[in-house]
Amino acid sequence: MMKFHETIFKVITVFFSIMIFACGKSNEEPKQAISNVSLIENSVVEPRISSNQSSIHDDITNSRSNSITRAISKLTPCVVGINVTQIREYVTRNPFSDWFFEPYFPERRRQKKVKSIGSGFILSSDGYIVTNDHVVDNAVRAEVFLANGEKYEAEIIGSDYISDIALLKINGNNLPYCELGDSDEIIIGEWAIALGNPFGLFELGQQPTATVGVISAKNMNFGRQEDDRVYQGMVQTDAAINPGNSGGAMANALGQVIGVNTFIYTGNQQTQGSIGLGFAIPINKVKEVVEELKRFGKVDRQFITGLEVENLRLSVARYFGLKSTKGVIVSNVERNSPASDAGFNVGDIITEFGGEKINSTKDIWKVLDNKDARAGDLIEVIILRKTRLYKLQLKLGKVS
């Protein structure tokens, strides 16, 4: 019996020993697990970029660069901002608008220096710059600043009021200059980029501001304005052009300058910003004017035709069997003149001149005036000779 109790005691002792050992092992396992978790949290896992991800990144980067961004990058170094000090005249008139008070309140004129801004672009590495005449008109000082931060005092080489084109010169060497395009090759609907100094923002970022649109129209003829400027063959764009953009470059997607930004239409007198109607002087016309300004400092508008005309009287119209007196009759053609070279004869009746219907001699001079005609210009003329219509090309000649 004693042995039986001893046996039972030994079994119980072994059982509890096993249980205590098992519990000790179970308490150690969570600690090991927590320790493992801590190691994972503290470790740094380097990301692995696959070749496909790298290719996608390159594609996105490349897609951001296109013909427009490349053109702007190409043009930025050669587009300039211009600060101008001008002399402007102000008139104080009789406030009573009555002849009785005129001797006591005579008209007074005073001059004042004012500062204005504009844009331009470099034509050659030796520092010739083109801008609008109205940017530097009556200027006593003009300062040009480039995208690299450099500033120069500019000399006005020549300025043409009528065409609104001016040529400046800065003293520099190996300057970046713009590539000029061919405005005769402009396509309606192609990209148009306007670069310049709107509201004087150029100096803030040391770079021209760029806006993008399309060519909306070309060969827009506004004729002679009230201020005597003549705008013919203008290029229209919806690229935003604002005050300060005058004289800046209008370019195509190839980064070629195709025009000089000149004026805009605004909604009303209170709204001075762009509404998508901007106009530029075509670069081919600019090239011609700049060449004359560079050589002579002015534009020569003298020309000859060798043609004399008279108004068509009723008796003459009846003699030729005409139903109206619309048109002018050629009364004389000088020998060896542009008119004789074009094939005019005495008695020819001019019905159209430069694309305009002609009723009197005044109409011919109006066409020449509105076209800002100069020697070398070609004028298309429709004449009535006996009973047939002919088309002649009159090339205006130089005055010797």
Which segments of the chain does DSSP mark as H helices, in order?
Answer: 2-42, 51-64, 67-75, 133-136, 202-205, 283-296, 314-319, 338-342, 361-370
pLDDT at 145 over 60: yes
Question: Which residue in the list 116, 159, 160, 164 is annotated as catalytic?
Answer: 164
Q: Coil, helix or strand for 283?
A: helix
* Residue 13: per-residue pLDDT: 57
Question: Which residue in the list 116, 134, 160, 216 is annotated as catalytic?
Answer: 134
What is the percent of the chain where pLDDT is above 70?
A: 78
CATH superfamily of domain region 307-395: PDZ domain (2.30.42.10)
Neighbours of 323 (CB within 10 A): 7
Q: Which amino acid is at 101?
A: F
- Tell the residue number behind the tokens 């961004």, with chain if given: 69
Structure confidence by residue, pLDDT tens digits, 205-248: 788 999 999 999 999 999 889 888 999 999 999 999 988 999 99
Lowest mean pLDDT among 30-39, 45-54, 167-176, 324-333: 30-39
* Residue 84: per-residue pLDDT: 92
Structure confidence by residue, pLDDT tens digits, 276-332: 789 999 999 999 999 999 999 999 999 999 999 999 988 888 887 888 888 999 999
Look over the chain and give the mean of its residue pLDDT values, rounded to a whole number.
Answer: 84
| Distance in angstroms (rounded) separating the CA atoms of residues 219 and 242 | 22
Containing 165, the helix (H) or strand (E) segment is strand 165-169
- Which CATH number applies to 75-296? 2.40.10.120
More confident residue, 97 or 335: 335
* Residue 114: per-residue pLDDT: 84
Tokens of 372: 């800002």
* Residue 27: per-residue pLDDT: 47
Q: In the structure, what pLDDT confidence band is assigned to residue 168 with cuts at 50, 70 and 90?
A: very high
Structure confidence by residue, pLDDT tens digits, 1-42: 445 445 555 555 555 555 544 444 444 444 444 444 333 334
Q: Among this protein's residues, is 134 annotated catalytic?
A: yes
List of residues 6+ apart from 285 with CB closer than 8 A: 163, 183, 232, 233
Please report, for the chain, the start and end positions of each structural domain, with discontinuous segments joined by +: 75-296, 307-395
pTM across the whole model: 0.73
Query: How many residues belong to the chain?
Result: 400
More confident residue, 321 or 168: 168
Q: Among this protein's residues, is 133 annotated catalytic?
A: no
Lowest mean pLDDT among 95-99, 252-256, 305-309, 339-343: 95-99
* Residue 9: per-residue pLDDT: 53
Q: In the structure, what pLDDT confidence band is assigned to residue 112 with cuts at 50, 70 and 90?
A: confident
Tokens of 18: 């096993």
| Distance in angstroms (rounded) separating the CA atoms of residues 211 and 193 | 6
Q: How many helices (H) and strands (E) does the chain have?
A: 9, 22
What is the percent of the chain where pLDDT is above 90?
A: 58
Q: In the structure, what pLDDT confidence band is assigned to residue 181 with cuts at 50, 70 and 90?
A: very high
Question: Which residue in the list 116, 159, 246, 274 is annotated as catalytic?
Answer: 246
Instruction: Report the pLDDT averaged over residues 94-118.
Output: 68
Tokens of 374: 């100069």
